[in-house]
């Protein structure tokens, strides 16, 4: 059963980025990341999964389609006239309550002081709207606090939202996914980051703790594999359709080769250590 549900791709599964799938991926990934680092934190620290809530959706605007004007008639008497406006296009957009989880690392010895915040970005964080504004506000608060900030972006869609200015990692080379770490210390202008492209394994990242304590390591590829298996995504994703968000023609063909390879019977897939052609 475990082999049946194992991840298809060597790194990020781009089909998981579909906005209809991502909320469940996000919620599970955060929990399994917490579980992965928890034994490494004890006994001095502990990690908790927390939740923020914001309302996503524009306010309703009510506009009249008929104006009632009070004017004077030629004889000097007041008269009420009705002027009909052009017919508007109307749609009611309900405001949606959106919940996002994140990880806090707290230190026992200092009264459960918050030392590190770990964020996994969602489409709402990277597209204009209340979710984007809410995330940037929280990011700004952390960057002037005594907390370390760890940001994980496994989404190709949307604008650059991580704390590190986009031009800095871009000048080092192309990437599809990015992890950024900003440490509290003498300066907050120093950034650490991990760049990965679609065909790369996700990184093992360093998560900072209080001054004087060693970082803990988190293997994001292993966390993704657990998320994928426990969520039965091999059964749920539509691998027969083009990826959403879209891949380049070259990457889509690469993905198709991995998908076809995963569909072969186990005895015919003996070349498990070799990649399909690029």
Per domain, the residue ranges of the chain are: 14-55+94-268
Of the candidates 190, 208, 258, the one whose C-alpha atom is nearest the C-alpha of residue 12 is: 258
How much is the mean pLDDT over the chain?
A: 85
Interatomic CA distance for residues 43 and 185, integer angstroms: 24
pLDDT of residue 185: 86
pLDDT for 69 beyond 50: no
More confident residue, 125 or 90: 125
More confident residue, 161 or 269: 161
Give 221's pLDDT tier (boundaries 50, 70, 90). Answer: very high
Q: Supply the pTM of this predicted model.
A: 0.81
pLDDT of residue 265: 67
pLDDT of residue 260: 94
pLDDT of residue 150: 97
More confident residue, 96 or 120: 120
Of the candidates 148, 52, 55, the one whose C-alpha atom is nearest the C-alpha of residue 101 is: 52
pLDDT of residue 84: 73
Report the pLDDT averaged over residues 180-193: 91
pLDDT of residue 76: 52
Report the pLDDT averaged over residues 29-40: 97
What is the SS3 assignment for the chain? CCCCCCCCCCCCCHHHHCCCCHHHHHHHHHHHHHHHHHHHHCCCEEEEEEEEEEEECCCCCCCCCEEEEEEECCCCCEEEEEEECCCCCCCCCCCEEEEEEEEEEEECCCCCEEEEEEEECCHHHHCCCHHHHHHHHHHHHHHCCCCEEEEEECCCCCCCCCCCCCHHHHCCCCCCEEEEEECCCCCCCCEEEEEECCCCCCCEEEECCCCCCCCEEEEHHHHHHHHHHHCCHHHHCCCCCCCCCCCCHHHHHHHHHHHHHHHCCHHHCCCCCCCCCC
Write the pLDDT tens digit of every residue in 156-170.
Answer: 999 999 999 999 999
Give 98's pLDDT tier (boundaries 50, 70, 90). Answer: confident
């Amino acid at each position: 059963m475990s082999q049946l549900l194992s991840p298809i791709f060597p790194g990020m599964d781009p089909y998981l980025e579909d906005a209809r799938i991502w909320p469940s991926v996000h919620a599970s990934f955060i929990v399994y990341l917490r579980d992965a680092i928890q034994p490494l934190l004890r006994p001095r620290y502990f990690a908790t999964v927390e939740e923020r809530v914001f309302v996503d959706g524009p306010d309703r605007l009510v506009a009249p389609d008929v104006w009632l004007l009070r004017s004077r008639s030629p004889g000097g008497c007041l008269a009420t006239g009705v002027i009909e406006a052009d017919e508007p296009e109307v749609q009611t957009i309900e405001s949606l309550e959106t919940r996002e989880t994140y990880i806090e690392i707290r230190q026992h010895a200092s009264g459960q002081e918050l030392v590190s915040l770990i964020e996994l970005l969602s489409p709402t964080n990277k597209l204009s709207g209340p979710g984007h504004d809410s995330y940037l506000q929280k990011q700004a608060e952390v960057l002037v606090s005594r907390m370390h900030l760890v940001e994980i972006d496994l989404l190709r869609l949307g604008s650059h939202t991580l704390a590190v200015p986009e031009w800095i990692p871009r000048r080092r080379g192309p990437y599809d996914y990015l992890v950024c770490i900003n440490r509290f210390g003498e300066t907050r202008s120093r950034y650490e980051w991990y760049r990965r492209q679609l065909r790369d394994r996700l990184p093992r990242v360093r998560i900072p703790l209080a001054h004087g304590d060693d970082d803990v390591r988190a293997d994001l590829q292993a966390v993704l594999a657990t998320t994928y298996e426990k969520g039965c995504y091999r059964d749920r994703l539509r691998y027969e359709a083009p990826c959403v968000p879209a891949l380049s023609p070259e990457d889509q063909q690469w993905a198709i080769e991995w998908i076809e390879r995963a569909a072969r019977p186990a005895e015919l897939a003996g070349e498990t250590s070799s990649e399909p052609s690029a």
